[in-house]
Amino acid sequence: MNKETLNISLPDDLTRMLNEFSELTGKKKPWIIRKAIKEFLEDSMDGFVASQRAEDGKKGIDSEKVFRDLGV
């Protein structure tokens, strides 16, 4: 799997939350960020696909299948 490095700036409140969660759970910050982005994208993809399918009058599809098909 290829990886891309992204540089982001977080507001102070998110930085504090990230640091606190990392300390409480023992999880590294990059892991937390990747997990949060993945869950957000999966949820967003589900909603987007469902709304597109509803507009087209078609049945929805599973986001896990979409990500699997894309190799994500």
pLDDT value, residue 71? 72
What local confidence, expressed as pLDDT, does residue 65 receive? 75
Classify residue 69 as exposed, middle or buried by CB count within 10 Å of its CB (0-12, 13-18, 19+). Answer: exposed
For residue 45 the two structure tokens come to 């993809």
User: Which percentage of the chain shows pLDDT scores above 70?
Assistant: 83
* Sequence ranges of the domains in the chain: 28-70
Rounded to the nearest integer, the mean pLDDT of the chain is 85
pLDDT in tens, 17-44: 999 999 999 999 999 999 999 999 888 8
- Would you state the pLDDT for residue 17? 97
Q: Tell me the CB-side half-sphere exposure of residue 54, using CA atoms within 13 A.
A: 6
